[in-house]
Structure 1
Amino acid sequence: MNLAAGVAGSSPALNISIFGLFVAVTLVIVLRASRNTKTASDYYAAGRAFTGPQNGIAIAGDYLSAASFLGIAGAIAVYGYDGFLYSIGFLVAWLVALLLVAELLRNTGKFTMGDVLAFRMRQRPVRAAAATSTLAVSFFYLLAQMAGAGVLVSLLLGVSSGIGQSVVIAVVGVVMIIYVLVGGMKGTTWVQIIKAVLLIAGAALMTVWVLGKYGLNLSALLQGAVDRSSEAVLNPGARYGATGTSKIDFLSLGLALVLGTAGLPHVLMRFYTVPTAKEARRSVVWAIALIGLFYLFTLVLGYGANALVGADVIRKAPGSENAAAPLLALELGGPVLLGFIAAVAFATILAVVAGLTITASASFAHDIYANVIKKGKVDDPNGEVRVARITAVVIGAVAIVGGILAKNQNVAFLVALAFAVAASANLPTILYSLFWKRFNTSGALWSIYGGLAITITLIVFSPAVSGTPKSMLPNADFDWFPLQNPGLVSIPASFLLGIVGTLLSKEHDERKHAEMEVRSLTGAGAEKATAH
């Protein structure tokens, strides 16, 4: 199959037309939403005007990235049982977010993760550390999405030249910057809601269509996959299990996925767009229901692609595993269904990238500019929002350049890094701040900076970067750390650093901890703090 032709049988003109229609409609909605974006609360938290169900749909739109749609369906199509383990890890992670983080964060903070961490500690150093880890996670997640755009382009539009892919990555980046600049969090939220509805509807349509070919019988579908491939697709161990190291690697990856979600800044920031903690809790319940439903669809889509298209055909297609869902769409409904699925995949990238950009820009403007540089005294009421918008342009430009440089790199490596950093640098500090009375500024700094340094160091010296043909630098060899994902080492190390840093310092504010505990558990005082 010729890469320049994209997916054989697809219509690049149709794919671009459907995508263009989506961009035009969402830009109109963003412009309408932006009319009421005046204050920092409007720009960062959409005026806290969204209901729990609306925010839950938006969270699903933020969380279900192109990796979820294309990557997991492809992993199931090629590896069977082991591919579905990704879905389980991503979904179980939401229970951690619901039970430990969502309501307490909404009660304690204002706009960003730094608000929560700095509540009972020295403001400036903790806010600087929180902003640093937020920018690190957002940057690597952004790189993965932009690089994913490059893969999709070659796959669905038949653009095989490096320059062509770079142009499309730049176009995605520019559209995303417009969403964030014009609409703020309100516009971005509506884009995510529309994208979530389209993505889940498209996946549901394909799921029913696939099951319809097998008499709506899942067992018959699984038998079809076995007949096309072998019984190995139903058994564990096809991807993780060949060696002892690969089993430990899967444990490490699972730990990063399950704990990483509760530390992802762009997910945490969504809890501030609802008016009360009760609505924050409702939004997570809605998100779990929708995300869980979607991952059940990926099970059918993955095995359906295996049965109807074949794992060998998928492996040889442009984009390899990522081609499973588009090839299945082409098999089921021809170029029109493929065009719709292609547009949904692009919309997915746009929505996730917009969410990441507004989170990173809000963290810089609110934590670094307003509270570290200006020491909480911003004279111009619109000054903070103006800095956030300038930051969004800078981050967008950096993401475009990074995406172009990383378009041929290992996308999974970048996503895994984002989750590992979130689980290592952010989650221990959040949990200690909320639940440990003795925790202090020193512990927070040790945990954030230590977790960040350990995670990035271990990934740099792992097989994900060098030492194997599939590494980021296949011709280099400095992989002394054996695991692809560092979570198994970096997450416990970060929790330990938080304890050590805390015990080495005598700082302890009993009164502020008591106030934070009451507020986080009851919501008392939260509305006063967030009224702007």
Structure 2
Amino acid sequence: MSLAQSSVGSPAVNITIFGAFVLLTLVVVFRAGRGNRTASDYYTAGRGFTGAQNGVALAGDYLSAAAFLGIAGAVAVFGYDGLLYAIGSFVGWLVALLLIAEWLRNTGRYTMGDVLSFRMRRRPVRAASATSTLLVSVLYLIAQIAGAGGLVALLLGITSPGGQAAVIAAVGGLMIVYVLVGGMKGTTWVQIFKANLLIVTGLIVSAWVMGRFGFNFSSLLGQAADTSPQGDKLLGPGLQYGRTELSKIDFISLSLAAILGPASLPHILMRFYTVPNAKQARQSVVWAIWLIGGFFLMVLIIGTAATALVGPEVIMKSPGASNSAAPLLAYRLGGELLLGIVAAVAFATILAVVAGLTITASASFAHDVYANIIKNGDVAPAREVKVARMTALAVGLLGILGGIVAIGQNVAVLVALAFAVGASANMPSLVYSLFWKRFNTTGALWSMYGGMSVAVVLVIFSPAVSGAKTSMLPNADFAFFPLVNPGIVSIPLSFLLGALGSVYGRRDPDGARRYAEMEVRALTGAGAERARSESVV
């Protein structure tokens, strides 16, 4: 069967392997979910995971459709410039290791709102934190679900918009089941399971490719340059960034978002609470760095091999466009069986990531908004978990609708936009709260709402949404902001707003004492498990 056809491989084989993987993960979720008895179990898996286990889960949480499908596709189409997505994201984990992991674990309980409200006025800060978490989670969900829709459409030969929308709805429904049944414990075990599958599959495909080229990477690069219409330009910078001054600025903006984004994503931050102490949180990030770095090396080989053996033109004409590079390569190498395995692993990857995002968004609303704002901390844990499950259903539906709109977009680009919004909304407040004594509620609100609003507005009026053939709305043109990624504007502005609000806003009651207590807790972990009932109202 030609790779240029609308479907690849045998739909029957693909469905069989998909079904086996889905059933296996559902068994894991149901078995793990039986132990969910408290809010701590549902939100943080009872803090019962080791640093190594959580590190693998962190890698599983992060190695999403963007890492496997999106970056492989970007490398296949844009060569050197496509790899830049991976480099920026990988560096971002050093920020998480040095600035966030240990301190966050010592000062929070379930959500980012716990950290910020420790030394500030509880209600407004928790509201801002929940708003940011819900927004970033939905944006990230859209990217993952859009990737799943393109993948399944490729394997089943579904090209009609209605058919792809139905596929996305099915993916979203399965994701909701994961969250409602398994909670954080079930989601974590699925992420550990799929991270191992993803890394092993990446090793197999990479070794297979290198074997075909005599384990000579130069030969692979030469074949890719010969196959690509861009020729040797594929191997150097400039195909996507660097051709104009504007594209250079866009790359700087993307890099800033990629570096600060991982440590700002709510589902990554929440995972630091699933381990018993700060030492294990730090070890989690070390494990994640090694696993993610190794996998990105495999993605480089896979994306380059897709150029050499499949060709960018065939990739871009397939359902899912650039996101289909890795599955098409698998079909070229090993036929229907390898294609089915690679696609099923990618599908499991997406399911695990969207489940983590959904439980984070639902936990933030239930814990920060419902329990601590609406009920003022006076709510039964069982009721709080029930509200979290209801929120998960609503968030899942929003992700499904957004994924339908984003069909065909490169998921790596979509994730970079989520990184920019997350870094603009969360990173300044986290850094200031942990390390600046003068920081106050006004600074937090200005930073979070201001950075978030600017980032979202610039995304809406950017070429990512309209005004270009690759936009979400290619037939519309209301873009006035010239950059695809808003990070270079929104992130520094958010830091500035946080500083100005802290200088000119009124001091929080007893703020100096609370900062001193928070500093001791952040550095030593003393009292880290104590309830946050003393937060300022």
> What is the aligned partner in structure 2 of residue 331 from structure 1?
332
Q: Which residue of 2 aligns with 1:462?
A: 462
Distance 1:69 1:350 in 2: 13
Shift of 1:403: 2.4
Q: Does 1:526 align with 2:525?
A: no
> Do the aligned partners of 1:11 and 1:335 also contact (CA within 8 Å) in 2?
yes
Matched to 1:107, the amino acid is N
Cα distance, 1:314 vs structure 2: 2.2
- The 5-angstrom pairing of residues 113-192 of structure 1 reads 113-192=112-191
- Give the Å deviation of 1:325: 0.9
Give the alignment's Cα RMSD to 1 decimal.
Answer: 1.8
Percent identity of paired positions between Structure 1 and Structure 2: 67
Q: Which amino acid aligns with 1:234?
A: L
Compared CA separation, residues 276 and 375, structure 1 to 2 (3 A):
same
Find the counterpart in structure 2 of residue 286 from structure 1.
287
Counterparts of 2:81 and 2:67, CA distance in 1:
15
1:164 CA drift (Å) = 2.1
Distance in 2 (CA, whole Å) between partners of 1:105 and 1:146 is 29
| 1:515 to 2:534 alignment | no
Task: From the superposition, tell whether residues 369 and 181 of structure 1 become closer, same or farther in structure 2 (CA, over 3 Å).
Answer: same
Instruction: Check the 8 A contact 2:69/2:147 in 1, yes or no.
Output: no
Equivalent residue number for residue 222 of structure 1: 221
Does structure 1 conserve the Cα–Cα contact (< 8 Å) formed by 2:90 and 2:289? yes
Deviation at 1:318, TM superposition (A): 2.7
Matched, 1:212 2:214: no
What is the CA distance between 1:290 and its match in structure 2? 0.5
> How far apart, in 1, do the equivalents of 2:333 and 2:410 lie?
29
Paired with 2:35 and 2:477, the residues of 1 have a C-alpha distance of: 54
- Counterpart residue number, 1:31: 30
Partner of 1:259: 260
Moved more, 69-78 or 459-468: 459-468
Moved more, 266-275 or 138-147: 138-147
List per-residue Cα deviations over 1:58-94 (Å, max 9, x = no partner): 1111111112111111111121111111110110010
User: How far apart, in 1, do the equivalents of 2:115 and 2:331 lie?
Assistant: 47
- Between the aligned partners of 1:320 and 1:27, the Cα distance in structure 2 is 29
Q: Which amino acid aligns with 1:481?
A: F
- Report the alpha carbon displacement of residue 370 of structure 1 after superposing the two structures with TM: 0.6
For residue 385 of structure 1, what is the amino acid of its counterpart?
Answer: V
* Structure 1 residue 19: Cα displacement: 1.2
Distance 1:490 1:206 in 2: 39
Task: Give 1:411 shift.
Answer: 4.5
1:435 aligns with 2:461: no
Q: Deviation of residue 413 (structure 1)?
A: 5.1
Equivalent-residue separation in structure 1 for 2:381 and 2:416 (angstroms): 38
Q: SS of 2:530's equivalent?
A: helix
Q: Which residue of 1 aligns with 2:39?
A: 40
Output aligned runs, 1:405-416, within 5 Å: 405-407=405-407, 411-412=411-412, 414-416=414-416
C-alpha change, 1:257 and 1:137, in structure 2 (3 Å) is same
- 1:502 maps to 502
Q: What is the CA-CA distance between 1:499 and the residue it aligns to? A: 0.7
Report the Cα distance in structure 2 between the residues aligned to 1:6 and 1:51, rounded to whole angstroms. Answer: 45
Matched, 1:79 2:78: yes
| Amino acid in the other structure paired with 2:515 | H
2-side partners of 1:140 and 1:185: how far apart? 20
5+ residue gaps, structure 1, are none
Deviation of the 1:177 alpha carbon: 1.1
Partner of 1:390: 390
- 1:4 Cα deviation after fit: 10
- Displacement of 1:303 in angstroms is 1.3
Q: How many residues align?
A: 529
Instruction: After TM superposition, list the pairs within 5 Å mapping 1:231-246 onto structure 2.
Output: 231-246=232-247
- The one-letter code of the counterpart of 1:111 is Y
Q: CA deviation at 1:316?
A: 2.8
Task: Give the whole-Å Cα distance in 2 for the aligned partners of 1:448 and 1:313.
Answer: 43
Measure the CA separation in 2 of the matches of 1:245 and 1:405.
27
Looking at structure 1, the residues matched to 506 and 202 of structure 2 have their Cα atoms a distance apart, in angstroms, of: 54
Task: Write the letter of the residue equivalent to 2:99.
Answer: L
CA-CA distance at 1:417 after TM superposition:
2.5
Contact 1:410-1:471 within 8 A present in 2 as well: no
> 2:70–2:411: 8 Å Cα contact kept in structure 1?
no
Aligned twin of 1:484: 484
CA deviation profile, 1:191-222 (whole Å, cap 9, x unmatched): 11111111111111000000111111222222
Show CA shifts across 1:413-468 (max 9, x none).
Answer: 53233111111010000000000000000000000000111111111222222222
SS in 1 for 2:475: coil
1:4–1:158 contact (8 Å) kept in structure 2: no
Which 5+ residue runs of structure 2 have no aligned equivalent? none
Query: Which shows bigger deviation, 519-528 or 310-319?
Result: 310-319
Rounded Cα–Cα distance in structure 1 between residues aligned with 2:469 and 2:23: 41
The 2-side partners of 1:431 and 1:338 are apart by 44
Structure 2: distance between partners of 1:83 and 1:139: 25
Partner of 2:349: 348
Distance 1:22 1:425 in 2: 36
Partner of 1:320: 321
- Per-residue deviation, 1:478: 2.6
Q: Structure 1 residues 385, 4: CA separation in 2 closer, same or farther (over 3 Å shift)?
A: farther
Question: Deviation digits for residues 500-529 of structure 1, max 9, x if unmatched?
Answer: 111112314110000000111111111334
2:367 and 2:177 mapped to 1: Cα distance? 20
Q: Compute the displacement of 1:159 (Å).
A: 1.5
Provide closer, same or farther for how the CA distance between residues 321 and 410 of structure 1 changes in structure 2, counting only shifts above 3 A.
closer
What's the TM-score once normalised by structure 2's chain length? Answer: 0.95
- 1:320 and 1:382 map into 2 onto residues whose CA distance is 44
User: What SS does structure 2 have at the residue aligned with 1:36?
Assistant: coil
Instruction: Please tell me the residue identity of whatever aligns with 2:387.
Output: V
User: In the aligned structure 1, how far is the partner of 2:478 from the partner of 2:319?
Assistant: 30
* 1:255 maps to amino acid: L
Cα distance change on mapping 1:212 and 1:410 into 2, 3 Å: closer
* Aligned-residue offset at 1:410: 6.3
CA contact (8 A) 2:191 2:353 kept: yes
